[in-house]
Amino acid sequence: MGEYKLLLANVEKPDSEKLEVYRASGGYERLRKALFEMKPEEIVEEVKKSGLRGRGGAGFPTGVKWGFVPKTDEPKYLVCNADEGEPGTFKDRVIIEKDPHLLLEGIAISAYAIGAHEAFIYIRGEYEYGAQVLERAIKEAEEAGILGPNALGSGYDIKITVHRGAGAYVCGEETALLNSLEGRRGHPRIRPPFPASKGLYQHPTVINNVETLATVPFIVERGGDWYASLGTEKSKGTKLFSISGHVNRPGVYELELGTPFKELIYDIAGGIRDGRKLKAVIPGGSSTPMLKAEEIEGVLLDYESLQAAGSMLGSGAVIVMDETTCIVKAVYRMAKFYAHESCGQCTPCREGTRWMVQILTRIVNGQGRMEDLDILLDMKDIMGGNCLCPLGDAALGPLISGITKFRDEFEAHIMTGRCPLGG
């Protein structure tokens, strides 16, 4: 099927982040159309029709999410989740750094659609360059009268603020993000209440991923039906995939949903490096269960097909591991990540992730015991579904799939006290 350049159409142009370049290819005309020709509920309707689903990882239908916002007079907020931190994911960074105005246009249209006059871009602290690009772009657009009070002379006010995080993966979880945006520790909140009714400052709030919001201008321009015609019957549209690991051409590629998994790895990303064999692949960011080489046979890159294969589309972050990769070490490294990033509020996530690391450290160091594997697999029951937010479950993705699918490798580490791959 090959690449489909919708979101990435501009990114390779020189000075693509500048307003004049963006406007030259019809930039902000979709905002004009939305503000002058469409009612907010019509936009929500188009987005519903488009079948667009949240591109941050959870895949919740965007139009439905917007529909939860109550039609009241209280302040409402739109928050763009640019806290891209899921290991393997680097797709939003491309839009932020190379096509910031596309994101801003998407934010402005979406804010208008839900009745918000204030929007925040919560960008991870490490993306300071990206934050500067966005701030410059906001300034440019405000000075041009496109954003800010009376946007494009429509009478609609929209204020967009860039808010930098400061190093906490959990802030990608939307309620933790809201706490962080309120100047607090990034602790996920208990739900209900959901952000759509009580979010930022206890007011209705919609939180959408960068890629999701950047898609909105195209839906306004060409209609929900057009967008829905891309992709598959159930997984509509295009998706950005960040592919990394042992491939020849790692990078961000935009594909129609439903593109064969192997096409991405072997054609688009140029296949496995140094002619080695594929061992395993993580399809949607570190929290999605890994698939063995043979398991991706015939699998398509869309929500349903990956679910049927026992994993998830997630954020579209494909991590490719060749035959030289020690899965035990890979699982250990990811466990360490979750233990480091757990907010520490709830018992199962806090203690479970720490224990995982303690046990895996021993196994990696050649001091594992066979019963350790039973304890690790038991985490699925004692942690799974019992945590306050999805981080605990995310930690289980690589752990359970790694042990189940590569048990022999774990046993070899335990029995010989060494890595069979010499790692």
Partner 1 sequence: MKAVVDRSFVSEATWQKIEYLMDRYPDARSALLQVLHAVQDEKGYLDMEAIKWIAKLFDLPPAEVYSVASFYTMYNLKRVGKYLIQVCTNISCMINGAEDIVKHIERKLGIKVGETTPDGKFTLITVECLGSCGKAPAMMINKDYYENLTPEKVDSILDSLK
Partner 2 sequence: MSTVKVTIDGITVEVSPDATILQAAAKAGVDIPYFCYHPFLKPAGLCRMCLVEVEGMPKLAPACVTQVRDGMVVKTNTERVKKAREGIIEFQLLHHPLDCPICDQAGECYLQDITFRYGKATSRFADEKELYPTKFYGPLIVHEQSRCILCKRCVRFSTEVAGGTEWNVYWRAAHSIIGAYDTDTVANYFTANLVEICPVGAITSRLYRYKTRIWKLDFTRSVCDHCEIGCSLDLGVRENQLFKIKHNIMDPTPWLCDKGYYAFDYVNHAERILFPLKRNEKKMVSVSSEDVSDQIAKALEGYKEGEVALIVSPHIVLEDAAAVKSFADALKAKVDYRVYGEDYLPLKTGVSDISDVEGSKNILILCGDVAVSHPVLALSVLKAKFSGANVAVISANDTYLGERSNVFALVPASKEEAIAKDLLEGRLNDALKQALSESELETLRSMLQSEDLMVILGVRASSALRSLAYKISSDKGWKLLALDRGSNPKGLFAMGLYSDGVGGILKGVVDGKVKALLVFGVDLFETYPDAALVKEALSSVEFLVVGDLFFHETAAYADYFLPLVSFAEDSGTVVNLFWSKRRRRRAMEPKGESTSLRKWLASIADRLGVNVTTEVEGLDLSSVEVKLTEGKVEQVDGKFVAVVEPPFYRSAKYAGWCSNFSEASAEPKVVLSIEDAKALGVKEGDKVVVENSRGRFEFRVKLREGQPASSVVLDCGYDRFPVNLLLTGSWKVAVDLKKA
Answer for which of 388, 396, 399, 403 binds partner 2 (CB under 8 A) is 388
Binding mask 158-197 for partner 1 (x = CB under 8 A): ---x-xxxxxxx----------xxxxxxx-----------
Q: How many of the chain's residues bind partner 1 (CB under 8 A)?
A: 54
What is the sign, positive or negative, of the torsion defined by CA atoms of 335, 341, 342, 344? positive
Q: Which does 86 bind (CB under 5 to 8 A by kind): partner 1, partner 2, none?
A: partner 1
Rg (CA), the chain: 22
Strands 77-82, 317-322: pairing is: unpaired
Does the footprint of partner 1 cover residue 406 (CB under 8 A)? Answer: no
Look at residues 289, 285, 316 and name the one whose alpha carbon lies nearest to residue 303.
316
Closer of 17 and 341 to partner 2 (Cβ)? 341
CB of 99 to partner 1, least distance (A): 16
Paired tokens of 324: 């030289």
Residue with tokens 């967009």: 160
Site string for partner 2, 175-194 (x = CB under 8 A): ----------x----x-x--
Q: Do 326 and 305 touch, CB atoms closer than 8 A?
A: no
Distance CA 287, CA 349 (A): 14
Task: Kindly give, in sequence order, each residue whose CB lies less than 8 Å from that of residue 230, ignoring residues fewer than 6 positions away.
Answer: 4, 6, 236, 237, 238, 256, 257
Task: Indicate which of partner 1, partner 2, none lies near residue 190 (CB less than 5 to 8 Å, by partner kind).
Answer: partner 2
139 binds partner 1 (CB under 8 A): no
**Comparison of 2 and 385: residue with beta carbon closer to partner 2:** 385
| Binds partner 1 (CB under 8 A): choice among 51, 85, 106, 258 | 85
- For 55, residues 6+ apart whose C-beta sits below 8 A from its C-beta are 209, 210, 211, 212, 215, 239, 240, 315, 316
Does residue 423 belong to the site contacting partner 2 (CB under 8 A)? no
Using the rule CB under 8 A, is 308 a contact of partner 1? no
By C-beta, is 227 or 241 nearer to partner 1? 241
Q: Which of 83, 92, 104, 84 is nearest to 18 (CA)?
A: 104
Among 190, 193, 201, 415, which residue sits at the site for partner 1 (rule: CB under 8 A)? 201
x/- mask, partner 2, residues 341-380, rule CB under 8 A, reads xxxxxxxx-xxxxxx--xx--x------x-xx--x-----
Please tell me what DSSP assigns to residue 87. Answer: T
Q: Which residues bind partner 2 (CB under 8 A)?
A: 168, 185, 190, 192, 339-348, 350-355, 358-359, 362, 369, 371-372, 375, 381-383, 385-388
